Amino acid sequence: MSTPSAPSHVLDIQGLRITLPGTARPVLDGVDLTVAAGETVALVGESGSGKTLTSRSALRLLPPGAVTEGAVRVHGDDVLTMDAARLRALRTGTAAMVFQDPRAALNPLRRIGDFLTEGVRTTHRADATARATELLDAVGLDATVLRKYPGQVSGGMLQRVMIAAALMGDPALLLADEPTTALDVTTQAEVVALLVRLRERFGTGLLFVTHDLDLAAAISDRVYVMYAGRIAEHGPAEALFARPRHPYTAALLASTPRLETAGARLKAIDGQPPDLRTPLNGCAFAARCPLATEACDQEAPAPRSAPGAPDHLAACHHSDRLEGSTADV
């Protein structure tokens, strides 16, 4: 009798739709996304595009009243259908999240050591303090931090504590939701380098949510570009940033500051994302797209691969009109 093979992805989201009360269309609309073990995948897009909700779906941290369709599998188990006991085990072991603001996640009246060890103590881990000390060392902090309160350490140190906390249960999947936004530039670089080293050391799959395209290009193996709750484009990081196949991706890249264009006026993407209270039949980006035609308003485009690059897909009727340049978008 053959042994079933292990799931090929630590995170496998297929056809995910999430609808909230008071909306006329899904907040997430048919999202497909995968993360393999030891891989860093970046999820980028404007604020409100659905990045955070997508990442939180992997832990079933959903808003009240959310109605879901599709599947969100972590190590082969569907998070959307598992019972409370399995969900608790998932959140304390298989998957973990590093949130944007570490101070919002810690109780200022409790010591950092209590915060780090509380979760694993509930699973009867006897060496919780030793494990916390080991992970603090891995993120560049010493054991004296265990006795301190959150208000006694810097924001950069707290974010390192949050990363150590996320690793306490030996997760196969690490979800990082804008983990460097609240930090200064130097500390941002240190935290990102730390995440990359830890991924390599522990073989953890990393989903990195960010609006910083340069950061996504620097650390990720693959990139998903999200707009209005849909995946506009995805593919290998190098190919996607060098030869964007969706007008939205090209516009984002054109609006990114560059040293070679210092002093020049930044390009902006005209218009606003579609309102969730309005039904949407065609392409979500059509109203803001310089390539849009009548077909774009009538039919949502299916993802299509680039010529000679089956793993680089864009959901655009006119992706063949982009020549990899952002100059005219």
Position 4 in a domain: no
Lowest-pLDDT choice from 84-88, 219-223, 267-271: 267-271
Kindly tell me if the per-residue pLDDT of 328 is higher than 60: no
Which 8-state DSSP code applies to residue 208? E
Residue listed under structure tokens 């080293």 = 197
Q: How far apart (Å, rounded) are the C-alpha atoms in residues 314 and 9?
A: 22
Angle ∠(230,232,12) on CA atoms, nearest 5: 60
Position 48 in a domain: yes
Position 267 in a domain: no
More confident residue, 323 or 284: 284
- CB contact at 8 A, 7 and 73: yes
Bridge partner list, 44: 210, 225
Question: Which residues, in sequence order, are CB contacts of 74 under 8 Å at separation 6+?
Answer: 10, 11, 12, 58, 90, 94, 95, 172, 173
CA 158, distance to chain mean position in Å, is 20
Position 104 in a domain: yes
Which 8-state DSSP code applies to residue 198? H
- CB contact at 8 A, 82 and 118: no
What average pLDDT is seen over the chain? 88
Position 175 in a domain: yes
Q: How many structural domains is the chain composed of?
A: 1
- CB contact at 8 A, 223 and 209: no
Written as six digits, the tokens of 268 are: 């902006």
Residue 74's φ and ψ, nearest 5 degrees, are -115, 115
With residue 129 as reference, give the H or E element that holds it.
helix 128-138
Q: The domain spanning residue 127 has which CATH number?
A: 3.40.50.300
Question: Measured on CA atoms in the order 149, 87, 100, 240, is the torsion positive or negative?
Answer: positive
Residue 34's φ and ψ, nearest 5 degrees, are -135, 150
Cα–Cα nearest to 31, from 10, 6, 49: 49
Position 270 in a domain: no
Give the model's confidence band at 7: pLDDT under 50 very low, under 70 low, under 90 confident, else very high: low
What's the pLDDT score for residue 151?
92
Position 328 in a domain: no
Number of other residues whose CB lies within 10 A of the CB of residue 216: 24
Residue listed under structure tokens 């570009």 = 225
Q: How far apart (Å, rounded) are the C-alpha atoms in residues 214 and 195?
A: 16
Written as six digits, the tokens of 125 are: 């881990």
- CB contact at 8 A, 136 and 79: no
Range of the domain at 244: 11-257+275-321
pLDDT digits (tens, 9 = 90+) for 20-62: 999 999 999 999 999 999 999 999 999 999 999 999 999 999 9
User: Over pLDDT 70: what percentage of the chain?
Assistant: 91
Bridge partner list, 222: 41, 236
Position 68 in a domain: yes
What's the pLDDT score for residue 37?
93
